[in-house]
Structure 1
Amino acid sequence: MLLILLLSVIRPVAFAQSAEPVYRIKDPGDISRIIPFKDRFQFDRFQDGKVHFRNGKVSAAKLNYSYVYAEIMFINPKKDTLLLADPDYIHFVTLADRVYYYLKGHGHIEQIARFGRLGLGKKTFYMNMGNERYAAYGQYSSTSAISSYSSFINQDGMIQFLKGNNKVVMKKHAAYFFMDRNERFLIASRQNLLKTNSSHKKAINQYFKQHNPDFEEEADLKKLLEFCSML
């Protein structure tokens, strides 16, 4: 039986590549009104999926991945949209042809590829790209640099309420992780890759010199892990 965290309000989102839209949100209640469903969730509808618990039990439910929460959500018999409670007791979630693992402090990570010893995980979520402060005549002016990134979700996994008349600039962002055979996750970085391939540092460093992979580009990471799998 699924344990649930009673949260009856769906929180929305927007994506973070250059071609993706940017949303300006003043209050969490505005999210579902301003951001369309297709930008709040990975799939265009909630669909059949399974929650696999660490004790071997499996529960079926209508599931979807929320970009706002960076977690899997489900619909209960009362048609409420809810987060899974006690995610530490869940081994993994299957939805469509995808698999998601829970990483404390990061939400659900989708495994998007596997290359021998290492897998590649991806977390897509909305980030706070800075604030815009209310100005005269209903106009908004930028007051913080785009470089000051912070998650729009607070440490308790809840939507952070905004104060006063400020608006938060939200944009979808993808973060990548390495996943070892024991389902342990490390943020995708040069240091962590060398840590997991300590006996092949020379070859990997040579690869970096030749290709200079971008750790925020999925295609670069897949090529890098494919190279490492052949060492």
Structure 2
Amino acid sequence: MNFIFKCVRRTIYIYIFCFFSLTVSAQQDSVTNLPNFLFPSFTNCIIKFKTGELKKAIVNYNVVDEELVFQQDNTYMTLESPAVEVIDTLYVGGRVFVPFNGTAFYELISHGNVNFYMQYKKDAEFIGTSTAYGVKSRAANATYRKQIYGGATGAVDLRIPSEFQLNTNNAYYLEKDGSMHKFSNKRQFLKICSDKEKEISQYIKEHDTKFNSLANLKSLVDYCNEELYK
């Protein structure tokens, strides 16, 4: 039985790190400070698998497609959902990310009996192409398609096409009692933590908590974990 488990585990890792040979390479100077990526450049990270094993990699996170992009030399690779499912945690520059909903990763902002997550997301909106007179031309039913894969020329462009603009659509989540809850304002937060509504309302009032401030919300959830849900 142990031999079978080791073979299965080895197969999983081979699948994750070797099936990327289908991808193609891009120019190095074309993958820095891209608005569709979370980090300014590809960054060293540590991947912790559910088996406890650790692996080093160089990654960035595509906030439009909500997926990890790996760099190996000048080759750029993505993970499909079955491979993501064996990952437990991603550590990038002192920040912690965990997999959610297929290929997405959310940042763990505050950890305790109540976990606070940030979903980084941007939506690609078609704004048209410029004509000879500088007028934007809009095509019917134009939609964004993933840019990670190369075409017949063997070139890949990780940038969003110029005829699309990106709109930030980040979201906050609380994980409480084993369930994930999306929130964006005080009312929704208090509904999730209704058992401590009085104490949390008092904290929000005393500290003038702003729900559009990630730092304010981290302090609020830290208070909940340290004082209310110990």
Within 2, Cα distance between the matches of 1:95 and 1:120? 17
Match of 2:104 in 1: 107
Aligned 8 A contact 2:110 2:222 in 1 = no
Q: In 2 relative to 1, CA 112–134 (structure 1 residues): closer, same or farther, beyond 3 Å?
A: same
Q: Pick from 165, 175, 178: which aligns with 1:179?
A: 175
How far the C-alpha of 1:175 sits from its partner, in A, is: 2.4
Q: Does the 8 Å contact 1:188/1:215 carry over to 2?
A: no
Counterparts of 1:139-154 in structure 2, within 5 Å, are 139-141=134-136
1:75 deviation in Å?
A: 1.9
What is the one-letter code of the residue matched to 2:78? Answer: L
Match in the other structure for 2:121: 125
The answer to whether the 8 A contact 1:132-1:140 is kept is no
Identify the structure with the greater helix proportion: 2
The answer to whether the Cα contact below 8 Å between 1:99 and 1:110 also exists between their aligned partners in 2 is: yes
Residue 81 (structure 1) aligned to one of 49, 58, 76: 76
TM-aligned CA distance change 1:106 to 1:48, over 3 Å: closer
> Structure 1 vs Structure 2: percent identity of aligned residues?
21
Q: Return 5+ residue gaps in structure 1 as ranges.
A: 11-31, 144-151, 161-165
Relative to 1, partners in 2 of residues 1:215 and 1:197: Cα closer, same or farther, differing over 3 Å?
same
Question: Is residue 2:89 matched to residue 1:98?
Answer: no
Matched, 1:216 2:226: no
> Aligned partners of 1:192, 1:70: CA distance in 2, in Å?
25
Structure 2 Cα separation of the partners of residues 213 and 142 of structure 1 = 44
1:97 shift after superposition: 1.5
Distance 1:70 1:9, change over 3 A: farther
List aligned pairs for 1:188-203, cutoff 5 A.
Answer: 188-189=183-184, 190=186, 193-203=189-199
Residues 226 and 112 of structure 1: CA distance in aligned 2, closer, same or farther (over 3 Å): closer
1:221: how far off? 1.3
- TM-score, normalising length: structure 2: 0.61
Structure 2 residue 34 is matched with structure 1 residue 39: yes
Choose 190-199 or 218-227, whichever is displaced more.
190-199
Q: Distance in 1 between matches of 2:133 and 2:110?
A: 47
Q: Give distance in 2, aligned partners of 1:181 and 1:56.
A: 24
Instruction: Look up the equivalent residue of 1:74 and give its one-letter code.
Output: F
Aligned length: 189
Kindly tell me: are residues 48 and 214 of structure 1, through their superposed partners in 2, closer, same or farther at Cα, counting changes over 3 Å?
same
Change (3 A) 1:62 1:203: same
Aligned amino acid, residue 101 of structure 1: V
Counterpart code for 2:132: Y
Cα deviations by residue, 1:80-127 (Å, 9 ceiling, x for unpaired):
11112321221111222221101105711111333x422322232322
Structure possessing the higher radius of gyration over alpha carbons: 2
Q: CA RMSD in A?
A: 3.9
Find the residue that maps to 1:176 and give its secondary structure: strand
Change (3 A) 1:43 1:159: closer
What is the TM-score of this pair, normalised by structure 1? 0.61
CA distance in 2, matches of 1:219, 1:211: 12
Q: Give CA deviations for 1:19-54 in whole Å, capped at 9, x if unaligned.
A: xxxxxxxxxxxxx96xx6123444444343222222
Q: Say which structure, 1 or 2, has more relative contact order (CA 8 Å, 6+ apart).
A: 1
